[in-house]
Chain A
Amino acid sequence: MSQIFPKSANALARMGLVGAVGFVLCLGLVVFTLFRSTWATKQHEFVEQPIQFSHAHHVGGVGIDCRYCHTSVEKSAFAGIPPTQTCMNCHNQIWTNAPILEPVRASLRDDTNLHWTRVHDLPDFVYFSHQIHVKQGVGCATCHGPVDKMPLVYQAQSLLMEWCLDCHRAPEKYLRPREEVFNMAYEAPANQLELGRQLKAEYNVASVEHLTSCSVCHR
């Protein structure tokens, strides 16, 4: 009786086994890399908005403080998106006929909402609070990047959990004095680690064990 498989089938079978494992590993690597890539995280992507609102102009140019519009950032989890009236505090007198501002005027006139597109959207299983971060000396720009230079806001950081943990494992790398939190021009001093450790003690920042326990962010 003739053999069904030629002798080379042995080699093919071995190669097939190794190949299959290799294939699965490679696929895993590709998926892993894709999920962490800027393509998946949308990092550095400009987001279209109903109005071409420029933080570069309002913050960088005019020098308006973040809290003028994001009023609840110091006292709630949500930083706050201003009501149309806040735009109109100034724009009822300046640039009153600018076509670019028509959606704002329409919103006030018709009592309708402006539908901004959220740029920094954490998964719903993350319970992030601006209040505690601002209070403990995490600067706006540390997470949001140079917003005062953004004509349209983009997500400056990956917002991946590994990025959160980078700071939660060693907050001293990023902490700044409370009065500098909203200062967009702040630059970390050369002795950042020393300053960070000092601020960490002064502000009673929780221990790394606590900051890296699951239930701090996930409930």
Chain B
Amino acid sequence: MRTRGLRRAALVGVLVAGLAGCRQDMHDAPRYDPLEASAIFPGGASARPLVEGTVARGHENDDELLMTGKVDGVEADLFPFAITRADLDVGETRFNTYCAPCHAPSGEGDGMVVQRGYRQPPSLHIDRLQYAPAGQFYDRITNGFGVMPSYRSQIAVEDRWRIVAYVRVLQASHQGTRDDVPAADLERLDNPEPTPDASEDAH
């Protein structure tokens, strides 16, 4: 009786172990997840670096203004496509994601990373930048400038232009006068809400 019970328990144990074995095989199929480690390739990475100069099929674009911000080699004060309200909204999100850490949501250049010691960029509202061509902003985002790194790999081409459009909005907002404020918002202008204290996390 007891040996039979033991044998049964052993059988169940083997079945359970067998099931667990199947489970892991199915969990980790013999294929690579994105960026999964590889035993085959040098460097241990399954994601292989692109051969220099690779252009993905269907992604070649020789529109000079769109891709470089220039027309005949000169930075142009033009946008390669018409900017809509939706583009500005995307531009705002992208600006607040990629630019605001240094340039601050206001564009004044005192973002959180600058407060932690990064070199302060000039305000986007100084005369020189106020009158700089749109293509120049596009070029700086794409190629970097001074200590600012290139954002080519983080921001898609069209989104870079939407950011430039939003920078124009920010700049216009700083040129506004009291007369530009809708009557309904005047009270909010005169009694601004206290800004939250940003120095909470001092580390």
A, B co-complexed: yes
Interface size (A, Cβ < 8 Å)?
A: 38
State whether the Cβ of B35 lies closer than 8 Å to any Cβ in chain A: yes
The CA of A24 and the CA of B9, in the complex, are separated in Å by 8
Interface size (B, Cβ < 8 Å)?
A: 36
The CA of A57 and the CA of B200, in the complex, are separated in Å by 12
State whether the Cβ of A106 lies closer than 8 Å to any Cβ in chain B: no
State whether the Cβ of A189 lies closer than 8 Å to any Cβ in chain B: no
State whether the Cβ of A8 lies closer than 8 Å to any Cβ in chain B: no
Per the 8 Å Cβ criterion, residues 9-34 of A in contact with B are 12, 16, 19-20, 23-24, 27, 31
State whether the Cβ of A165 lies closer than 8 Å to any Cβ in chain B: no
Q: Which residues of B contact A115 (CB under 8 A)?
A: 37, 44
> Which segment, of A82-90, A138-146, A194-202, A209-217, faces chain B?
A82-90
Given the known interface contacts A27-B12, A62-B112, A64-B101, the answer about A123 and B27 at a Cβ–Cβ threshold of 8 Å is yes
Q: Which residues of A contact B35 (CB under 8 A)?
A: 78, 81
**Minimal Cβ-Cβ distance residue in B for A12:** B1
State whether the Cβ of A39 lies closer than 8 Å to any Cβ in chain B: no
State whether the Cβ of B58 lies closer than 8 Å to any Cβ in chain A: no
How far apart are B115's CB and chain A's nearest CB, in angstroms?
9
Q: Which residues of B contact A67 (CB under 8 A)?
A: 97
The CA of A57 and the CA of B201, in the complex, are separated in Å by 8
Docked-complex contact A93 and B118, CB < 8 angstroms:
yes
Q: Which residues of B contact A86 (CB under 8 A)?
A: 154
Docked-complex contact B97 and A124, CB < 8 angstroms:
no
State whether the Cβ of B117 lies closer than 8 Å to any Cβ in chain A: yes
State whether the Cβ of B174 lies closer than 8 Å to any Cβ in chain A: no
Choice from B29, B33, B113, B153 contacting A62 with Cβ under 8 Å: B113
State whether the Cβ of B194 lies closer than 8 Å to any Cβ in chain A: no
Residues of B within 8 A of A (CB): 1, 5, 8-9, 12, 16, 26-29, 31, 33-35, 37, 43-45, 93, 96-98, 101, 112-113, 116-119, 147, 149, 153-155, 201, 203
25 A-B pairs, CB-CB below 8 angstroms? A12-B1, A16-B1, A20-B5, A23-B8, A24-B8, A27-B12, A57-B201, A61-B201, A62-B112, A62-B113, A64-B101, A65-B96, A67-B97, A68-B154, A71-B153, A85-B149, A89-B149, A90-B101, A90-B113, A94-B113, A112-B43, A113-B44, A123-B27, A124-B28, A179-B93
Q: A24-B8, A68-B101 are in contact. List 15 more A-B contacts (CB 8 A).
A: A62-B113, A63-B101, A68-B98, A78-B35, A85-B149, A89-B149, A92-B147, A93-B118, A93-B147, A94-B113, A94-B118, A113-B44, A113-B45, A124-B26, A124-B29
Residues of A within 8 A of B (CB): 12, 16, 19-20, 23-24, 27, 31, 57, 60-65, 67-68, 71, 77-78, 81, 83, 85-86, 88-90, 92-94, 112-113, 115, 118, 123-125, 179
